[in-house]
Amino acid sequence: MFSKEWFFYVFGRWVVISGIAGAIVQYLFTDTLGLKTIPAFLLNQFCLACVFWYVDRLIFKKHFSENLLSFFHFPRIKTTYGLKEQFDKVSQEYEDLKFKITQSPDKPQAWLNEFVDLEHTVEMMERLLRERNIDIDREYDRVAKENLKKGYYFPRAKEKKSTGRKPSRFLETLEKEILLCDGAMGTYLRSKGFGADVCLEALNLEKPGVVKGIHAEYIEAGARIIETNTFEANRFKLEKYGLAGKVRQINIMGARIAKEASAGRVFVAGSVGNLGRLISPYGEVSLVDAHDVFSEQIRSLAEGGADIILLETMTSFLEAKEVVLVCKEISDLPIICQLTFTDEGVTLYGDRLADCFYELEKLGADVVGLNCSLGPRMMIKLLKSLPPHFKGKISVQPNADLPRYKDGSSEYSIDPQYFMQCAQDIKDLGVNIIGGCCGTTPAHIREMAKVVVGPPKNREQ
């Protein structure tokens, strides 16, 4: 839990800042006031502790409102790991797992965390090897064959691609055309007067007409995919409004309202947002619980008749991977999986954009992409860093720039005209789906509809 990086981060910072502050306090209290060295030092440390406590609380609360302590489970410093460091890490995680297993061999739940840690670290090692163009698959096959000879295990039947999957009109269309998705639901609803204390997803039950009206506005503006009003309709998030028991109803209704509005004219994407809590090892939520919460929502969206499952604003690769696997388990609906990245092209937990795209595509996401947090220009920059040989389909849904807070509500600065120009550039990058996230409105979609038409561009050109 308290990794080497964690100590570097916490104590490294402490040492540097306390060194500087120590000198100041030494000067002020010891010299000016004539205080003895040790009381002055203790006073200095006490002042520092207060400052750190306050700053940390301020910063961490903003990002980790759920659980302050969960922050300390993961190193925040950014280091580029070499193979050697990663090897040491794998060995360390392996030892941790071994130790945990020997302590309670019959209780897998007790060592699940250590197992996930190890799996995650091995995965990072794999990426480092791939970056160095090492053919892991061949080596993997060779070792597997050897182990098989020794009778260590029986291999699973080789997975066949696209077995028995129903042909999907959506996927067929995507081969031929670039598709325009709708704009924001959440921020648009808020702009229509639903305050910050209103559970927007509950409007599916309370004011279905309003939600349907927004879908209609987006369809009229030219969207060919509309997203259900279910972004935050998972058990964890609805709990805050005392609506944990209504997950199924809210999602089924969300899908039905969109279906009605669509009347077969556009595709209905069941929107699934992030959990709003961190999955172990970053936080307290176990993979098992994450699985259950996601599957409850996705099952309901499928039941309500969604044509596609659109996973969006996923905060880490781990979360995205889990939710894609849940989708595959539940239905054979097409999957779009979008994560949120910082302007450095990594998730909050350091997963790199290209790594996420490649891995999620391999896991079975039909379309991978990015949404929220960034405006269109920054997304274009990030997409340009994606290797041209990436063969998967891509979706992009930028915000209308970063929000500015004015009189208690958020304002977005990018106007529809500018958004259209950006859409043209995004299209030129060979993207398959373009839409809008926070702050975008039917006006943005109407402008984008002018350019988001025709066959997708070839990415390798």
Binding site residues, Zn ion, CB under 5 A: 372, 437-438
Nearer to Zn ion, 202 or 374 (CB): 374
CB of 386 vs Zn ion, minimal distance in Å: 21
C-beta of 434 vs 437, nearer to Zn ion: 437
Residue length, the chain?
Answer: 461
Backbone angles phi, psi at 268, to 5 degrees: -105, 120
Report in angstroms how near the CB of residue 438 gets to Zn ion at its nearest: 3
Q: How far apart are CA 235 and CA 249, in angstroms?
A: 12
CA nearest neighbour of 180 among 227, 216, 230: 227
Nearest distance, CB of residue 373 and Zn ion, angstroms: 7
In the complex with Zn ion, which residue's Cβ is closer, 185 or 211? 185
Q: Which of 272, 281, 265 is nearest to 251 (CA)?
A: 272
Choice between 247 and 372, CB closer to Zn ion: 372
Separation CA 209–CA 414 (nearest Å): 29
User: What is the rounded CA–CA span in Å between residue 228 and residue 203?
Assistant: 12
Residues 6+ positions from 401 with CB-CB distance below 8 Å: 375, 412, 413, 414, 439
C-beta closer to Zn ion: residue 170 or 231: 231
If the CB atoms of residues 432 and 440 are measured against Zn ion, the closer one turns out to be: 440
d(CA 380, CA 61): 31
Least distance from Zn ion to the Cβ atom of residue 187, Å: 7
The percent of the chain in helix, strand and coil, each rounded to the nearest 5, is 55, 10, 35
Q: Whose CA is closest to 334, among 453, 165, 215, 160?
A: 165
Between the two ends of the chain, the Cα-to-Cα distance in Å is 46
CB-nearer residue toward Zn ion: 93 or 182: 182
| Separation in Å, CA 322 to CA 170, 316, 317, 365, 451 | 23, 10, 8, 11, 35
Say whether 363 sits in a helix, a strand or coil: helix
For residue 21, give every residue at least 6 positions away whose Cβ sits within 8 Å of its Cβ, in sequence order, or none: 44, 47, 48
Nearer to Zn ion, 258 or 372 (CB): 372
Q: How far is the CB of 436 from Zn ion (least distance, A)?
A: 9
Looking at the Cβ atoms of 225 and 438, the one nearer to Zn ion is 438
Q: Which is nearer to Zn ion, 233 or 372 (CB)?
A: 372
CB burial string 358-384: b at 16+ within 10 A, e below: bbbbebbbbbbbbbbbbbbbbbbebbe
374 versus 394: smaller Cβ distance to Zn ion: 374
For the CB of residue 250, give the shortest distance to Zn ion in the complex, in Å: 20
Query: What backbone phi and psi angles, to 5 degrees, belong to 343?
Result: -70, -5
Q: Which tokens is 115 given? A: 């197992």
Q: How far is the CB of 176 from Zn ion (least distance, A)?
A: 28
Q: How far is the CB of 402 from Zn ion (least distance, A)?
A: 11
Q: Put the strands of the sheet holding 433-434 in their side by side order.
A: 179-180, 433-434, 393-397, 367-371, 335-339, 308-314, 267-272, 225-227
Q: What secondary structure does DSSP assign to 393-411, as a single string?
A: EEEEE--SSS-EEETTEEE
Of residues 121 and 234, the one with the C-beta less far from Zn ion: 234
Considering the complex, what minimum distance in angstroms separates the CB of residue 18 from Zn ion?
40
Smallest distance from the beta carbon of 314 to Zn ion, in angstroms?
Answer: 12
Cα–Cα distance for residue pair 3/75, rounded to 1 Å: 7
What minimum distance in Å lies between the beta carbon of 440 and Zn ion?
Answer: 9
